[in-house]
Structure 1
């Protein structure tokens, strides 16, 4: 029996070693495809920020101010949808810092105006004719 075990043991060890090699390579492939907790939290925060800005832009007083400034509200919504998650987060933080009331609406409109102006100056958009 011991002689059989001496012959079979190296084969068993080799088969386990060869069989576990794909498992050793798999964790890095799995980790690259996994979403971390922080990424999931950031995605939730970004969607909450986008929703908050969309709610603000849906208000009638904000829409009337945008029209008074000569900006199409639908185009503003498209631009906000095209912003990166970081830019949306920055805009949301600015809204948090603004006082409540009419000043918040004017401040939000100013923030949208500045963002659109910067994108115009960079040549990414063509909202304002005076930037050409």
Structure 2
């Protein structure tokens, strides 16, 4: 019994010193409330990044990147390094781009079709390959 009492005191001092040493090296944790806007902005930024990654993972996009001498892995790494604001800007610009090509080509095709129909109806005489019944 005497031996256990003699060992108890140094062991208790060692335990107290080790707990104090742990408090010195570990920073205190600070809890705080996260606002709804911060959570929504983080979720939206993640969605924008996923849309950019999905667009860059398409086979035709990869083929065009390789044709221009750009490594798709480097492009993915650069997209990952963008800030949330830059990601949002890039994703919104992608939404505003024309999907089928230039609008000028579609306007010219529309004008050609309108003139062809009016020429077929006999209202105009523009195209020599249209036969009129006059």
> What is the TM-score when the length of structure 1 is the normalising length?
0.52
Matches within 5 A, 1:23-62: 33-62=32-61
**Equivalent position of 2:95 in the other structure:** 96
- Cα distance in 2 for residues equivalent to 1:60 and 1:80: 17
Structure 1 residue ranges, 4+ long, deviating more than 3 angstroms after superposition:
none
Counterpart check, 1:67 vs 2:71? no
Over 3 Å counting, the alpha-carbon distance change for 1:102 and 1:69 in structure 2 is farther
Q: Which has the higher helix share?
A: 1
Shift of 1:68: 1.0
Shift of 1:78: 0.5
- Cα distance in 1 for residues equivalent to 2:80 and 2:70: 16
**Equivalent position of 2:78 in the other structure:** 79
**Equivalent position of 2:109 in the other structure:** none
Shift of 1:101: 3.4
Shift of 1:102: 5.5
Number of equivalent positions? 73
Provide, for residues 74-100 of structure 1, a one-character-per-residue CA deviation record: whole Å limited to 9, x for no partner. Answer: 110011001111110000010111111
- Cα distance in 2 for residues equivalent to 1:64 and 1:77: 14
Structure 1, unpaired ranges of 5+ = 1-28, 104-132
